Amino acid sequence: MTRIHIDPALVEAMIMEMGTIGAHSGTGVWRTVYSPAWVAANDLFARWSEEAGLSVSRDAVGNVWSKLAGTEGGKSIVSGSHIDTQTPGGRYDGTLGALSALIALRALSEQFGSPKRTMEALSLCEEEGSRFPGANFWGSRAITGAIAPGDAEAMKGYSGETMAEAMLAIGLNPQAIPSAKRDDIDAFIELHIEQGPILEHADLPVAIVDAITGLRHYHVRLTGEQNHAGAFPMDLRRDPMAGFAEIASGVINTAHRLGRPAVTTIGRIAADPNGAAVVPRSVSFTVDARHPDPEKRLQLYALHEGLMREVAERRGLAIEWEIGIEKVPCLSDPGLVTTFREAAAVQGVPTLTMASGAGHDTQQMAKIARTVMIFVRSKDGRSHTPEEFSSIPDIVAGIEVLAAGLHRLAY
Amino acid sequence: MTRIHIDPALVEAMIMEMGTIGAHSGTGVWRTVYSPAWVAANDLFARWSEEAGLSVSRDAVGNVWSKLAGTEGGKSIVSGSHIDTQTPGGRYDGTLGALSALIALRALSEQFGSPKRTMEALSLCEEEGSRFPGANFWGSRAITGAIAPGDAEAMKGYSGETMAEAMLAIGLNPQAIPSAKRDDIDAFIELHIEQGPILEHADLPVAIVDAITGLRHYHVRLTGEQNHAGAFPMDLRRDPMAGFAEIASGVINTAHRLGRPAVTTIGRIAADPNGAAVVPRSVSFTVDARHPDPEKRLQLYALHEGLMREVAERRGLAIEWEIGIEKVPCLSDPGLVTTFREAAAVQGVPTLTMASGAGHDTQQMAKIARTVMIFVRSKDGRSHTPEEFSSIPDIVAGIEVLAAGLHRLAY
């Protein structure tokens, strides 16, 4: 029954120092991929890794790998997360997972010496898409070989520069991207803030994530008849706003009734012509529907589609939709879920097991490795803002679970 | 039992010739106030008036008055509508009422000689606000003395020019606007296309309008909590889009259940931040509610306000609204309604009596005179588009009712 000790003072010092790099808006951080702040953050990550006795290497896209070699060799056990942020984000989203892996490996090395299996702490270069909107998961996609030749040259940033230009500006060679591919990773474990309120409402510090949700975006347009708001009686209208309201209530209620972890959101809407005294010709909107269960998600989508068709037909409205983002659920490795749940129990950290409703690098890494995630409680469920916050006791609990699980896998 | 004859060929010829002035997009007309097309249209109206033996005068804002003097003098009986259009509008909205008055006076003069009471056909200079968004009812507001000193100098057009500049450019003196005020009008009768589908659905050519609707615009903002669309469970959200959907369905259903002539429209909506994967922070929208009955309109507003407050409170959303446009109902003179209904019956024109859901110059004229309106059936209930259309037989029926009613009032 091995227990790991993680030093809260060290954890807090590292989070606060890393948070000064790209500091913005008080407690915020603005650290887009390949920016000067990003270079400085990775240099710090590398320096701390070396101070911890880890051997540091950087790959073609700038991911930083800090290795604790195992006596028996074989495929690596990797933990980490992304070092880039939203504009601005906070100190925790992504960065906490990279620091936690480094802290866990340092603690394991100090307390237990060399492992049998090789472990690596990973600072992933890019996840947020906050400088290049098409770049999401750039770091993990390079590792899994999912970046096609020419992608870096074709991808444009918000300021007009290409990804290739941004790489060259800091000495990275876009032609070398294929060399970042890895095929020797056994397991990938990502610690991340929850970004939601489930742990807070359950009054628990840490969760083991058994799946990352499947999600589908519908881009829907309802078309009726544009009419004068005064001269057209209600009973003769074909009003797409009335149809939208019924559909919006319906899909939101459907997800609510199905219960957690089903979620459905209508975040985008536009009426045409959008005049106060005009029954609109058309209403366009998005439906974001998510469920981590491979079959229940299809049930959720089918319920939404059935409702949309029924409302449109009954109201004499034309309806058309396109499916935008479509992600299948990413199921965690059941063995890793069990390993980390048991490690948490021995460590004395109470956990729950939950699905992630947000996307993560782990979804990419799952293509080449067994995966699992660890969530740390988020204050008010917030992220992507300078106000995001997780307490040091909760973070320490999360790192203890991470380190205890890694100990079971590697020693 | 006097019957009036209106010549369909003359009616059609005048509509089509007037429709060539500012012709746009095939059957459309683009004739904004004080534009060259507007000048030409009023010159044509004046020439036709003189050819019909009417005495023509123009007031300070460019309204054209064509008088058929009565043998007994006294206050005038006036009929007309506006000669300006949307950009583009069609051949009928407004213009039909000016031409109908002219045609009716010509027919009455030809068939019955001089009247006892003085009658005037009126081409109102501006109603649509299509060149100056603040100008609505410019012509009728000048007649009722509702234009304040300095208004013409302060009012800006869509192209940046002031109303005063536009007037001076065609030889009108903004300083003289107060001279357009009239206090010698006994009755104002406006013939207009219906702009809605009620006559078409009732299979009738003409309506007598007993009221112009009261209307109120609410500008509403619902504020909840912005959240991640994946990470926040449905049961913990305070989602303003869900609240909006319930309110939109509720107010639309309320007006529908109250039955004609209640109408409620949600035409404008905006979500903030309007992202597909974000539960919005706030949703802003308009509620346009209309009822011509002075008491029932207040009941309609109270039902809407009660529902909005209840939904917001139950869902933990903040709600605030401002009232924008607020118009009290404009009731037609009961005596004039009876006169024109009886005249229609004698004339053999089947009518119904209905409220107008749209606003008209008549609302302004009602401040200084008894009023009533005559509606002519609109194809598909359409207006403010080149496709607006009323048939010559329906128009002739409408002008016969107008002329027959004027005959009762003036001979």
Same CATH fold, A214-327 and A8-212+329-410? no
Q: Are B262 and B315 in contact (CB under 8 A)?
A: no
Q: Which helix (H) or strand (E) holds A366?
A: none
Mean pLDDT estimate for chain A: 97
Annotated binding site of A: 82, 93, 128, 192, 384
Provide the shortest C-alpha distance from residue B49 to chain A (in Å): 32
3-state SS, residue B127: coil
Q: Are B210 and B251 in contact (CB under 8 A)?
A: no
CATH 3.40.50.300 fits A214-327, yes or no: no
Burial label, A295 (beta-carbon count in 10 A; 0-12, 13-18, 19+):
exposed
Q: How far apart are CA B378 and CA A219, in angstroms?
A: 35
Provide the shortest C-alpha distance from residue B266 to chain A (in Å): 7
* Confidence grade of residue A1 (pLDDT, cut at 50, 70, 90): low
Q: Note whether B231 contacts A196, CB cutoff 8 Å.
A: yes
- Per-residue pLDDT tens for B190-210? 999 999 999 999 999 999 999
What is the bridge-based pairing of β-strands B119-124 and B185-193?
unpaired
Please state the separation of Cα B365 from the chain's center in Å.
12
Q: How far apart are CA A398 and CA A377, in angstroms?
A: 9
What chain A residue is nearest to B251 in terms of C-alpha separation?
A: A242
The dihedral through the CA atoms of A107, A111, A113, A119 has a sign that is: negative
Which residues, at least 6 apart from B29, have a Cβ–Cβ distance to it below 8 Å?
B19, B21, B22, B23, B37, B85, B88, B89, B90, B91, B95, B386
Q: How far apart are CA A105 and CA B230, in angstroms?
A: 31
Q: How many CB atoms lie within 10 A of CB A210?
A: 20
Give me the CATH topology for the region B8-212+329-410.
Aminopeptidase (3.40.630)
Annotated binding site of B for Zn(2+): 82, 93, 128, 192, 384
Chain B positions touching A232 (Cβ under 8 A) are: 196-197, 263, 357, 381
Mean pLDDT estimate for chain B: 97
Residue B355 CA: distances (Å) to CA of B208, B211, B260, B263: 8, 5, 9, 12
By residue count, chain A amounts to 411
Chain A positions touching B245 (Cβ under 8 A) are: 244-246, 248-249, 252, 266
- Domain B216-327: CATH class, spelled out: alpha beta
Q: How many CB atoms lie within 10 A of CB A139?
A: 27
- Per-residue pLDDT tens for A116-173? 999 999 999 999 999 999 999 999 999 999 999 999 999 999 999 999 999 999 999 9
Q: Which helix (H) or strand (E) holds A234?
A: none
Q: Are A83 and A41 in contact (CB under 8 A)?
A: yes
Q: How far apart are CA A394 and CA A388, in angstroms?
A: 14
Chain A positions touching B276 (Cβ under 8 A) are: 217, 219, 267-268, 286, 288, 324-325
Phi, psi values for residue B26, rounded to 5° = 75, -105
pLDDT at B326: 95
Annotated binding site of A for Zn(2+): 82, 93, 128, 192, 384
What is the bridge-based pairing of β-strands A185-193 and A370-376?
parallel
Chain A positions touching B196 (Cβ under 8 A) are: 227-228, 230-233
Size of interface A-B (CB pairs under 8 A): 207
Tokens representing A174 are 């876009």
pLDDT at A2: 72
Question: What burial letters (b/e) apply to B317-328, b meaning 16+ CB within 10 Å?
Answer: bebebeeeeeee
**Which has the closest alpha carbon to A268: B16, B249, B278, B303?**
B278
Q: How far apart are CA A172 and CA A13, in angstroms?
A: 30
Which residues, at least 6 apart from A40, have a Cβ–Cβ distance to it below 8 Å?
A21, A22
Alpha carbons within 13 angstroms on the beta-carbon side of residue A397 total 21
Average of per-residue pLDDT across B373-379 = 98
* Confidence grade of residue B2 (pLDDT, cut at 50, 70, 90): confident
Tokens representing B191 are 């013939």
By residue count, chain B amounts to 411
| Domain positions in chain B | 8-212+329-410, 216-327
- Per-residue pLDDT tens for B98-124? 999 999 999 999 999 999 999 999 999
Interface predicted TM-score (ipTM): 0.91
Chain A positions touching B268 (Cβ under 8 A) are: 271, 274-276
Q: Note whether A268 contacts B252, CB cutoff 8 Å.
A: no
Average of per-residue pLDDT across A236-262 = 97
Q: How far apart are CA B31 and CA B38, in angstroms?
A: 5
Residue B12 has pLDDT above 80, yes or no: yes
* Confidence grade of residue A258 (pLDDT, cut at 50, 70, 90): very high
Provide the shortest C-alpha distance from residue B233 to chain A (in Å): 6
Provide the shortest C-alpha distance from residue B61 to chain A (in Å): 28
**Residue type present at position B99:** L
